[in-house]
Every structure is written in C-alpha cells, then in structure tokens.
Amino acid sequence: MPVAHTHVLTLVADRTATVLDDAVIADVRDAVGGGRAVLLAPGEAADIHCTAPPDLAAASAALAHRPIDALAVPAANRRKALLVADMDSTIVTGETLDDLADKAGLKAEIAAITRRSMNGEIDFAEALRQRVAMLRGLKLAALEETWRETRLMPGARELVATMRAHGALTALVSGGFTYFTGRVASLAGFDLHRANALLDDGEALTGQVAEPILDRNAKLATLRELADARGLDLAATMAVGDGANDLDMLRVAGLGVAYRPKPILEQAIAVCVRHASLRALLFVQGYHQHAIREA
C-alpha cells in the first residue's frame, strides 16, 4: 500500500541570484527523506512530497546558504480563497511613512521609531501617532512625491492576479495610510484596501491620524470578517506581512507567511520567505508556472 504524502516542502529560488537545478532539489530531497519531486517553474520552484513534516534545519543545511527558500506546508487544501496582505515592505518595497518623512527631512528619526514598532518593541498605535505628529505642517504635495517613488515588490501583481483568477478575494490591509493603499491596491489589482487616514487642512498635514487606528488587532479582525463574509473557514485563508503588526493575523490564517521578516516574525512564524519574490506565495499553494497570471 503506498505511503501517504502528508506534507510538501516547496523550494523557491531568488531567480535574480541563482538557479534551482535538479542537483539542488535532489540534495534537499535526500536530506529530508522526501519522496517524489515536482517541478513548478523551471529553475525557480519545485515541490518535494514528504510523509511527515520535513526537517527545515536539514533542508537549510543542504541548501548551503544559497538564496533559496524552503517552505513546509500540509499537503491537503493548499490553495487559499482569501489573501490578506500587509503593504509596507511586503507589497511595496519601502516604508511609505518613512519615505514621506524624508520630504520633511525627518527620515532617520521616524525610521528609527518604525523599526522599533515593527520589531514589537513599542506599541504600534502610539508609535504611529508620534510619527504622524512629527509631520505636522508638511505640504500635501509631499504625498504625491512619495507616491511617485513607491515601487511594487517583485511578484506582487502576479500574486494578486493569479489568486483572483482562481476565485480568491484579495485585500490590502495596512497600518499605513489610505492615500497609499488606494493607489497600491489599484496598481497591484487588489479587490479592496483598508488603512489609516491622515488628516489635513487642505494644504498641509495636521499631524493627526483619524481614530480608531488600524493596528494588529484590526488586521486580525479584518481577516476574520472577510473570511466570515465569504463563508470561509480560516484554514482557507492566507495572510502575509513582515513585522510585529502582522503577527496575530499570520498566526490565525490557514497559511501565514512572513515575507522578508523582522526578527519577531522569524521566531514566531514557520513559513518565512527570505529570498524569493512574492511568486513564492503562489508556489507554496501548489500553483505551476503555467497557471500564474502575469497581470
């Protein structure tokens, strides 16, 4: 009687830096005692089927510091019907508040607070109020300047377009600001977005943010709300983020992915994408290259 493969180890390479070849796949398969390997995208991604949760330390040792992620998930019900994504340093490459602060000559000071907040060292809501207060008087033109410099993370459009094409709801939920999430959601193709609202007097920022603040509790609440609205079990959901503000939703989602994670997520979340693009979130769901939409 054939042995059931209960788990999958997905290997995904940073395709700008290395190639995932047959020899590497075989090395990892042998290291974890895996079964058959299935190529998902030539040179980029492959699945290794396993009869038990694979040993990630053994996989890491076999990869020998190559820029390749090893992502372990249960084999059943891999594809998710809801995606809730953080924005800053996840769907976009930078931190929009820090970049906005640069227009006021305060990037270093505000970025230091951001780092502490994302590492879970200080309360997110208080840190946000403190940083926004420092921007009082900044002209609204600075928002547009910051937006022009904002870039999507590689693979963002493909992730959203592919999941939507297969019936998933996609939501951008950020502790940042609606000025940016609305534009990012449109550019990347998300179904909806939620974030905080910066207050202004028509010419400049007032140094205040609308209450209540969308924080880690609100992100988790949004995940639950959207799942309920679609009649989905939480096992059918995926969440992705990089910092402490995302921790609760990542823990509760059926598949929580820490993307380019801060240390607090490295320690708490099992599925961490450190090297690959956001296409990794499709491969870990079992999507093959031919099913990925280029948007």
Active site members: 86, 88
Q: Are 224 and 203 in contact (CB under 8 A)?
A: no
Name the strand (E) or helix (H) holding 185: helix 178-188
- C-beta neighbour count of 249 within 10 angstroms: 26
Amino acid at 38: V
Residue matched to tokens 């019900």: 77
Burial (CB count <10 Å: 0-12, 13-18, 19+), residue 141: exposed
How many residues can be counted in the chain? 295
Please report, for residues 59, 89, 136, 247, 292, the alpha-carbon distance to residue 143 in angstroms, rounded to integers and kept in the order given.
Answer: 44, 18, 13, 28, 33
